[in-house]
Amino acid sequence: MTRKNLTQFAWLSIFAAVATIGLKTGAYWLTGSVGLLSDALESLINLAAAVIALLLLKLAARPPDEEHAFGHDKAEYFAGGIEGTLIVLAAVGIGWTATIRLFAPQPIEQVNLGLIVSTAATIINLVVGQILIRAGRRHRSITLEADGKHLMTDVWTSIGVVIGVWAVTVTGWLFLDPLVALLVAANIIRAGIQLVRRSALGLMDTAVSSEKQESIRAILDRYVQEKKIDYHALRTRRAATRSFVSLHILVPGAWTVHQGHQLLEEIEAEIRREIPGAIVFTHLESLDDPASWYDIELDRLEG
């Protein structure tokens, strides 16, 4: 599946958000529960996040151009950052409403019907959330994975709200409804902060996972033993679905350019097989030239 086709999952998220907004708002009107109101407000954030995801997935799918020679993949991190910020703002609003209701509790009506409607919305989010998470991991899309995890957070939030409303009807303790809403707000804030942090790390050219780095080094170390070469200046970074790997390969000075080039082709191909979607940059240097050791650091040191 091409990057452009990933937008179909964003459309699925939009349709799910519209459906759950309608169902959860209906559940709030039936019961008057501030917990269910907080759940409905979070679905509004789901809709905003899904629309943002759709727009930025389209941008990320654009091919490289003169001004963006490495592509537009990092646009996906903006989607995660914006979504995380919206989640935190929604949580603040939920917390404010719940605090007011905590000091002025109100009875809950038509509980059974309201919970049935809310449960239907929860099932929709559960199914769509799992689809998005699996698609995000399969296609290495942080936007889809973040959107899916957000929906799963909504699922757990809804379950908590349903339990809270049920507890109110059983015990008669009206304060449980706004108390659950406050817990929901805290959980939403946690999820929002995690999304913002992950997006920020991506925009800061964070290295690939330690497992992937170890795999790369294992490949290179094998060539060092078999071919009697060396390497240094290994650097990696992530950009949404893409991974970038750059390094210097040092070969004996007596080798021809053709020999060196063939070796680089082998190494690059093996790294790409180990890390699907990786873009590999290699630089050929001589083991016998002292200048080869001046550029180990990011900023080249003069000899």
3-state secondary structure 10-45: HHHHHHHHHHHHHHHHHHHHHHCCHHHHHHHHHHHH
> What is the distance between the alpha carbons of residues 110 and 180, in angstroms, rounded to a whole number?
19
**Size of the chain, expressed as the number of residues it contains:** 303
Could you identify the residue written with the tokens 């789901």? 46
Q: Which two tokens stand for residue 15?
A: 């349709």
| Model confidence pTM above 0.95 | no
Q: Per-residue pLDDT for the chain (303 aa), expressed as one digit of tens each?
A: 455 577 888 888 888 888 888 887 887 777 776 666 766 776 777 787 788 778 777 777 777 777 777 777 777 777 677 777 777 777 777 677 677 767 766 666 556 666 777 788 888 889 998 998 888 878 777 778 777 877 887 787 777 777 777 777 777 777 777 777 777 778 778 777 877 877 777 677 778 888 999 999 999 999 999 999 999 999 998 876 678 999 999 999 999 999 999 999 999 999 999 988 789 999 999 999 888 888 777 666 555
**Tokens 């727009």 sit at which residue?**
55
The enclosing H or E element of 274 equals helix 257-274
Task: Break the chain into its structural domains and give their ranges.
Answer: 3-203, 210-293
CA distances to 9, 41, 47 from 141, in Å: 11, 26, 19
The CATH superfamily of 3-203 is Cation efflux protein transmembrane domain (1.20.1510.10)
Q: Are the C-beta atoms of 142 and 198 separated by less than 8 Å? A: yes
Strands (E), the chain: 230-239, 242-251, 278-286
* pLDDT for 148: 82
- In which element (H, E) is residue 202 found? helix 176-203
Distance CA 250, CA 244 (A): 20
Q: Which CATH number among 3.40.630.30, 3.30.930.10, 3.30.70.1350, 3.20.20.70 corresponds to the domain 210-293?
A: 3.30.70.1350
Q: Is 255 helix (H, G, I), strand (E, B) or coil?
A: coil
CB neighbourhood size of 211 (10 A): 7
Res 240: pLDDT: 65
Model pLDDT, residue 166: 74
**Best CA proximity match to 17, nearest among 53, 43, 39:** 43
Residue 284 pairs in a beta bridge with 249
pLDDT of residue 300: 61
b vs e for 42-59, b when ≥16 Cβ sit within 10 Å of the residue's Cβ?
bbbbbbbbbebbbbbbbe
